[in-house]
Structure 1
Amino acid sequence: MIAIKTTEIEKTAAASVSLPLTDVKIWGRTGAGRSWLGSLVASLPLVLAPLTCASVFITLRAYSGSFSLFAAAVAEEGFWPVYQQHGPQLTAKGAVAVVCYVGLQALLFRFLPGELRTGQYTPAGHLLTYRMNGLSAWTITHLLYFALSWAGVLDPAFIARNWSGLIAAMNIAGLAVSVFAFVKAYVSPTHPDDRKFSGSSVYDFFMGIELNPRLGEMFDLKLFSNGRPGMILWTLINFSNLAYQHQTLGHVEPSLALVTVLQVMYVVDFFVNESWYLGTIDIAHDHYGFYLGWGCFCFLPIMYTVQAQYLGMHPPAAPASYTYLAVVFAAGLVGYAMFRSVNDQKSKARLLGHGCCIWGKPAQYIVAPYRTTDGRAHKSLLLCSGWWGWSRHANYVGDLLLSYSFCALVRSTNAVVWTYAVWMTLCLVHRCMRDEKRLSVKYGAAWTEYCQRVPWRFVPGVW
């Protein structure tokens, strides 16, 4: 049995503090009280997200990556005829591949050994245990991919050549897991006291009802969906497009190679530091519904790999400027280094607590008490040293610099290439505002004090 590591801050959080119940509001996703209209508007991505994915796929496949050509075809023929002709089509090969892939990831998630770590307290006071075996799963999956390709059993460009059928099957898988989570929340919830009902079934299906739905004691649907089908498939898609470009051109373009290097670094970093992810808004706050279920099964593989897809199908006509590629790649490395440094400081602070030093100085904290709905009082430490004293979301700044570098390496002015960067900008700005609202409710006066000491959200002097 692997021992569960408990950080200094987790020990501190487990200690009771003197805090009147009336002094603390209970945080968490908005429950009952949302207007019907507000819930409907917030649920529009149920339609818009699949339409966006389909439009990007069709634009890349049938209109040379040009949104203007796609828009002209839709204006002339209508969206549905264009979709019927060029949209993703379910195939037996694609369906079998997705079933085998998701099944493999489920087996690896369930049975691979790994260090046990605890997440954060839920609003109802649950402290859940997770097995950190994502890096092993990523490694085994890719070794299997390379071994089967080397043996001639699998075409290394299989994903790129069968992308239409795979997307259609992933859509069905994402929808199926979303429906399953919605029904499970009513008939067999894992933690009934952490459920949230808005009064709108449409909104609840989209945003989720259960916070941490599980199958058995350890199979956490949220961590599985967020970390496995999408993130591992991301790099497989890149490698498949590398193989496809080599098969069709006889060589690999530097742009695609550099995009792949940066994205592999990003994904591997995610799994190396998987325990850090337990404290993010995805795991600690967002409930599990269509937004996370379908989003991780379908939206992530389609939208986060646009650069590799575009370069695999539409390699640059003109030779690359190595100076340009070097500068943009270096900017991506800077973004990654900043992203990693910011997160490392927070992880170090969680591990060492008051004994932590950052940038050669003792770390500065604000003690933030909070209470869970079971009546127990706890406290956290809000770090306000290093990057976390520079801005409240410096990690997002590094993430955005890396995201724009992905897109700039493609060397194209086609808007479709930049959809990932635009999405990340909107996503991280919105996530910043949601996260700060949650933390304001959770920590109250302590969060207000933190915002006064660290007034800037992203970049000092800008925002």
Structure 2
Amino acid sequence: MEEIEEFWGRKIRASWWAATASLFLIVASPLWLFWNWIGLEYFGGSYLSEIAGLRRDGILAFSFQYLPRASTKASQGYIAWLCFQATLYYFLPGPISTGQLTPAGHLLKYKTNGLSAWTMTHCLAFGAAYLGYLDLTIIADNWEGLLVASNVYGFVLPALCLVKGYVAPSYVGDCKYSGSLVADYFIGVELNPRLGELFDLKLFHNGRPGIIAWTLIDASYAAIQFRDHGYISNSMWIVLILHYTYVLDFFVNEDWYLRTIDMCHDHFGYYLGLGCMAAVPNIYTIQCQYLARYPVNLSHTQAAAILVLGMGGYAIFRSANHQKDIIRSSNGQCDIWGRQAQYMRCTYKTEDGRKHESLLLCSGWWGFSRHANYLGDLMQAFALGLACSSTQFLPWAYTFFLSAIMINRLPRDEARCRRKYGKDWRTYCAKVRWRLLPGVY
């Protein structure tokens, strides 16, 4: 895609290659999600056995026999879930937070009541299970139909948002049209599609149905392991601890999420729509899905080391993001790691012609590397793969999926900063040489 340098927002014309790549990902993404489920359900969690089965049966026979089927019960449950989360998003009280300035100069307000929604949802689910009104295994027992429903919605949602972007965009100045219908569907037209003043479709779908479901799905598969094997393995407990820590951190710091690349730069299309509605509940829970079927019992030393690695990654992720927030909220008047923060004052311009100022931190984790928060994310992902202690590739799917996202996101993030800050960004890169890990990358 050709980037136009006048402003730092997404300015693109989709080349034939970009449109072709978009079409490939649109088709391949749900097939990969189905492939993982088939491997877990029928082939012992082994890609090699699955490939052998595909070669033996042929594509048509294999697909007819193994592809997941929709079910009325799961589809109705999925629709009810979406409606329930939308109701909580709209009606639950919560703080009104301010996002980051958009390329067109809009400073948007968001209702950040995610922690209340997560807490209410889990209290209702666990309370109903405790009282005997709900079996926690219901999600895992109906996962085949839920997998299909989430993928169907992941296709329909960006199509509706595409039509809205063409017909009734919320903020015209932040809309980007690539000249390719396929690329617009994949990348998205609107930066912040909204229904009314505060119902932000991107924040809702990025941060409600999928991520709240994440920890409920984990709990359901832990219940399956207990039902089928009579105990919950220490590897399952490690995954649960790391996942619940990450998700709770997301909601406790939901205001921080408004300043991430997802919210500030990525437009809302298939990439985020299917990613948050289908990939998150399916790929992010892959370790629990695997361990429910194939329990792994780690030694005490192994369990402790993996937990330390995962929580260490979380600590880096959280402290790096906190440092970036505090330097800007204090206008540079703060200490980082016990010393006066070192930073650069940079200017940038929005498309309305106005100049603005921002601070780039050059000490702490942000002096260590330009994306230390990504390093923390990757450490957690690696620990989750280790918890499965498997020679199979499938339980590592999340680790490689997140790595691919980071490999894609890191240069996009840097390109956006380069366009936004110009020569100031080049000066910053000279001060902080390494992108991710000093001496490596």
The interval holding the TM-score normalised by the smaller chain is over 0.9
Residue in structure 2 matching 1:419, options 386, 392, 397: 397
Other-structure match for 2:8: 27
Other-structure match for 1:106: 86
Other-structure match for 2:313: 335
Contact 1:87–1:164 (Cα < 8 Å) also in 2? no
Q: Offset of 1:116 from its aligned partner?
A: 1.2
Other-structure match for 1:130: 110
Amino acid at match of 1:441: R
DSSP 3-state at the match of 1:409 = helix
Q: Offset of 1:347 from its aligned partner?
A: 1.6
Q: Structure 1 stretch 72-81 or stretch 406-415: which is displaced more?
A: 72-81
Amino acid at match of 1:335: G
Runs of 4+ in structure 1 deviating by more than 3 angstroms, as ranges, are none
Contact 1:58–1:83 (Cα < 8 Å) also in 2? no
Partners of 2:303 and 2:311 in 1: CA distance: 12
Q: Offset of 1:291 from its aligned partner?
A: 0.6
Matched, 1:242 2:210: no
Matched, 1:298 2:278: yes
Q: Offset of 1:321 from its aligned partner?
A: 1.4
Matched, 1:407 2:378: no
Other-structure match for 2:56: 76
Other-structure match for 2:352: 374
Q: Offset of 1:296 from its aligned partner?
A: 0.6
DSSP 3-state at the match of 2:332 = helix
Contact 2:328–2:358 (Cα < 8 Å) also in 1? no
Cα RMSD of the aligned pairs, angstroms, is: 1.2
- TM normalised by structure 1 equals 0.92
**C-alpha distance after superposition, 1:406-448 (max 9, x if no partner):** 1101111110011111111121121110000011001101111
Unaligned runs of 5+ in 1: 1-23
Partners of 2:288 and 2:324 in 1: CA distance: 32
Contact 2:314–2:380 (Cα < 8 Å) also in 1? yes
Which protein has greater RCO, CA pairs closer than 8 Å, 6+ apart? 1
DSSP 3-state at the match of 1:286 = coil
Partners of 1:306 and 1:164 in 2: CA distance: 14
Aligned pairs for 1:7-46 within 5 A: 25-32=6-13, 34-46=14-26
Q: Offset of 1:80 from its aligned partner?
A: 3.7
Other-structure match for 2:243: 263
Q: Offset of 1:350 from its aligned partner?
A: 2.3
Partners of 2:60 and 2:311 in 1: CA distance: 42
Residue in structure 1 matching 2:406, options 428, 434, 449: 428
Contact 1:369–1:379 (Cα < 8 Å) also in 2? yes
Other-structure match for 2:75: 95
Matched, 1:170 2:137: no
Alignment: residue pair count: 437
Contact 1:25–1:442 (Cα < 8 Å) also in 2? no
Residue in structure 2 matching 1:160, options 112, 130, 140: 140
Partners of 1:458 and 1:43 in 2: CA distance: 30
Amino acid at match of 1:458: L
Partners of 1:290 and 1:259 in 2: CA distance: 28
Q: Offset of 1:285 from its aligned partner?
A: 0.1
Q: Offset of 1:86 from its aligned partner?
A: 2.0
Unaligned runs of 5+ in 2: none
Residue in structure 1 matching 2:323, options 345, 354, 366: 345
Partners of 2:58 and 2:215 in 1: CA distance: 34
Residue in structure 1 matching 2:365, options 347, 365, 387: 387
Amino acid at match of 1:357: D
DSSP 3-state at the match of 2:231 = coil
Aligned pairs for 1:444-463 within 5 A: 444-463=422-441
DSSP 3-state at the match of 2:12 = coil
Other-structure match for 1:8: none
Q: Offset of 1:187 from its aligned partner?
A: 1.0
Amino acid at match of 1:324: Q
% identical equivalent positions:
46
Partners of 1:397 and 1:231 in 2: CA distance: 21
Amino acid at match of 2:198: M
- TM normalised by structure 2 equals 0.97
Other-structure match for 2:259: 279
